[in-house]
Amino acid sequence: MQDQIRTVAVIGCGVIGASWACLFPSRGLNVLIYDPAEGVQKMFERYLQNAWPALAALMPVEGVWAKNYKFIDNLESSLSEADFIQENGPERPEFKQALMETLDQYSRPGVVISSSSSGLPASKFIGRCQKDPSRILRHHDINDPDFYRSLGKKPILLRHEVPGFVANRLQAAINSEAYSLVSRGIVSAEDLDTAVTSGPGLRWALTGPFVTNSLGGGGGPNGFTQRIERLGPAIRAWEEDMLKHRFDWSEESVSVLKEEASKWLDSVDWDGVVGKRDQMLLSLLEVNSRTSKL
């Protein structure tokens, strides 16, 4: 499938859309960008200028590829040029239903329309599509993932629809406990971040929860079972306490959380954080790329 894709339409050029619109040209693809928001083209050009060195570090790129994009004013008349559509519209069901109806109606038959929806399952926004709703997919559960693999991504398969999908649900679970601990005054936001970045976050980047659990249980295929048998009762008690003190999203709790978070976030050197993060992620991706070939 990836051999047939030369032009990608990126619909919506906010943070997520801009990331896709940078990635596609770096892999030699032509990109059509549609976003009616004022000033979006200048914003994207700044974003691309900052992102291009990192993309070039991941994979050899041609300098001229950075110009392989154009902004379009008329969505309907331009969709026929696209071999693949990456949708990144607002996370509002009514809006997304109307947008998907347009994309389905004016794109060529067989062209995949992939949504970057953070939590809405495809069934929530394809109801008004009459032409071919079966090609409208969330890119985690795309039925032919070769195109995303060609971009350096690792698609996963969802066997059933769930709100928030997989990665976002995992992040939500961790964030919920983090918010609870900080809003209850058990730990500062700064120390909470340190606990993750200096602890499990280091391992999670290399081994997921199941392999990490197995290693913690002695390693090998039996390590996971041994860990569950050994630590299961204690973990269950922790979870009962976590549920009892679950972050409740009340106005009072949110207000306390914001205040505590600001004490830490107001002191952060954001330029330094972004630079360090990008450098470390590039190094990690390079290491993962080398070890995956062993």
Q: What order do you get walking across the sheet with 7-11 strand by strand?
A: 69-71, 30-34, 7-11, 84-87, 112-115, 136-138
pLDDT at 291: 66
- Right CATH number for 166-292 from 3.10.450.50, 3.40.50.150, 1.10.1040.10, 1.25.40.10? 1.10.1040.10
For residues 1 and 114, the model is more confident at: 114
Using pLDDT thresholds of 50, 70 and 90, give the confidence band for residue 148: low
Average pLDDT over residues 157-162: 84
Contact at 8 Å (CB) between 22 and 52? Answer: yes
Q: Indicate if the pLDDT at residue 72 is higher than 90.
A: yes
- State the DSSP string of 134-177: GGEEETTS-S-THHHHHTT------SS--TTTTHHHHHHHHHHH
* Range list for CATH 1.10.1040.10 in the chain: 166-292
53-72: average pLDDT: 86
In the block, which residue shows the tokens 């990008």? Answer: 278
The percentage of residues in the chain with a pLDDT greater than 70, rounded to a whole number, is 93
Highest mean pLDDT among 86-95, 132-141, 241-250: 241-250
pLDDT tens-place string over residues 209-258: 999 999 999 999 999 999 999 999 999 999 999 999 999 999 999 999 99
User: Which pLDDT does position 145 carry in this prediction?
Assistant: 52
Calculate the average pLDDT of the chain: 88
Residue 44 token pair: 């994207």
The hierarchical CATH code for the domain 7-151 is 3.40.50.720
> Exposed/middle/buried for 60, CB within 10 Å: 0-12, 13-18, 19+?
exposed
Note the pLDDT tens digit of each residue in 45-58: 999 998 888 888 77
Number of C-beta neighbours around residue 214 at 10 A? 19
CATH 3.40.50.720 maps onto the chain at 7-151
Identify the residue with better confidence: 255 or 135: 255
CA 91 from centroid of its chain's CA atoms = 14
In this prediction, what percent of the chain has a pLDDT beyond 90?
A: 60
Cα separation, 123 vs 137, in Å, equals 9
Contact 130, 158 (CB under 8 A): no
Q: Is the pLDDT of residue 17 over 50?
A: yes
